[in-house]
Structure 1
Amino acid sequence: MAKLINWKRNWLNSKFELFVDGMQKGAIIFNSWKNEAESNFEHQDYTFKCVGFWRPKTNVFDKKTNELVAVISYDNWKTRAVIHLNSGEQFEWKPTNFWKSQFSVSNHIDTNIVYSPLSNTGSISSDTDNSLIIIAGLFIKQVYNKRGMTLVACFVPIMIAATSRHNH
């Protein structure tokens, strides 16, 4: 039976609140300046820490034991990521539509999680109770959103400068 989770995002503090049956069951709080986050969901607490520049990855730690429980690797085209659990299981994150607005996490066997964002809110339909995989899907989307915003922030001044020089 699918589990339905709703989220609400607060733009001011980069926090996602997670709700099950209308009751808040957790949150993900992103660091505004780094691709890092602290999360809790249904009594599971994780820390996400990004490392590397050219071949970035995210190490995921269980906050209670400080054990590395997963590593997330990314492709450079924002089309997929892979969550590698310590158990050896792998889950693929990928967009499910042309506009990359919806996405899923799946092991292509028995776990499928579908994320449907709507502006600052969204829903998650999950056939697993694995809170790490559920949270990781939202974390990956936020990492790709930040990368996209960084590219825009870098190229807009260049485009403005080039346009203004050309017009004078």
Structure 2
Amino acid sequence: MERILNWRKGLFDSNYQVFENAYLKFSINFSSLKNSAIATTQQGIYLLRSDGYSNPETKIFNSNHEVLATIKYDWLAFKAKIIFANGENFDWSFQNSWLSRWSLNNHTDKQIIYNSSSSTGLIHSNIDDDILIFVGLFIREYYTRIIYAMVLIVIFMSFMRNVF
């Protein structure tokens, strides 16, 4: 059963809304300065909280403060691994050099493919799992913020070099 979902976010904010058949399925609201978010679905509310710089990871909590999964990032390869409490593992990675297509899969029977175009996109999924779907969007935003920070640092360094 393939599901096709639409997502959108504001041009200058990091809040995502995901729609299925023109109905709001869930939303993700990001913290402004931290890589943390709150996902609101029809099944519940989830907190995604990131910690660490040298070995970063994000924990996904349900409304009872139980850890459902952990996301571990590989900054150099722009990849991530999602490890659920039940032992199920998923790999997340970009699929093209423009960073507009990425996927999340367990390499057996579950796969989600994401496409983006500026502030909108499509999600093709063969499973009905909102947590996996919003995790894929969260990781994309995580890496997008890192890329923006790196660009700002390069601009700042070139500006400072010209000043002195």
The answer to whether the aligner puts 1:58 opposite 2:58 as a matched pair is: yes
Contact 2:8-2:17 within 8 A present in 1 as well: yes
Partner of 1:18: 18
Runs of 4 or more off by more than 6 Å in structure 1?
Answer: none
Q: Which amino acid is the alignment partner of residue 137 of structure 2?
A: L
SS of corresponding position for 1:136? helix
Aligned amino acid, residue 157 of structure 2:
I
Residues 81-137 of structure 1 deviation map (CA, whole Å, 9 limit, x = unaligned): 000000101000001112222000000000000000111100100111111111100
In structure 2, what is the Cα distance between the partners aligned to 1:123 and 1:96?
A: 14
Between the aligned partners of 1:14 and 1:116, the Cα distance in structure 2 is: 16
Distance 1:7 1:75 in 2: 25
Q: Aligned letter for 1:45?
A: I
Query: What is the TM-score with the length of structure 2 in the denominator?
Result: 0.94
Q: Are residues 27 and 47 of structure 1, via their aligned partners in 2, closer, same or farther at CA, if it must alter by over 3 Å?
A: same
TM-score by length of 1: 0.92
**Larger Cα Rg: Structure 1 or Structure 2?**
1
Q: Using the alignment, how far apart are the partners of 1:83 and 1:144 within structure 2?
A: 15
Q: Which runs of 5+ in 2 are unaligned?
A: none
CA contact (8 A) 1:78 1:144 kept: no
Is contact 2:14–2:141 with CA below 8 Å preserved after alignment?
no
Number of aligned residue pairs: give it. 164
Equivalent in the alignment of 1:82 = 81
Residue of structure 1 in register with 2:45 after alignment = 45
Instruction: Pick which of 49-58 and 77-86 moved more.
Output: 77-86
Where structure 1 has 5 or more consecutive residues not aligned to the other structure, the ranges are: none
Q: Which moved more, 1:2-11 or 1:28-37?
A: 2-11
How far is 1:40 from its partner? 1.7
Shift of residue 20, structure 1, vs aligned partner: 0.3
Alignment-mate amino acid for residue 94 of structure 2: P
**Cα separation, 1, equivalents of 2:62 and 2:82:** 15
Q: CA deviation at 1:42?
A: 3.2
Alpha-carbon distance in 2 for matches of 1:10, 1:39:
16
Residue identity over aligned pairs, in percent, reads: 30
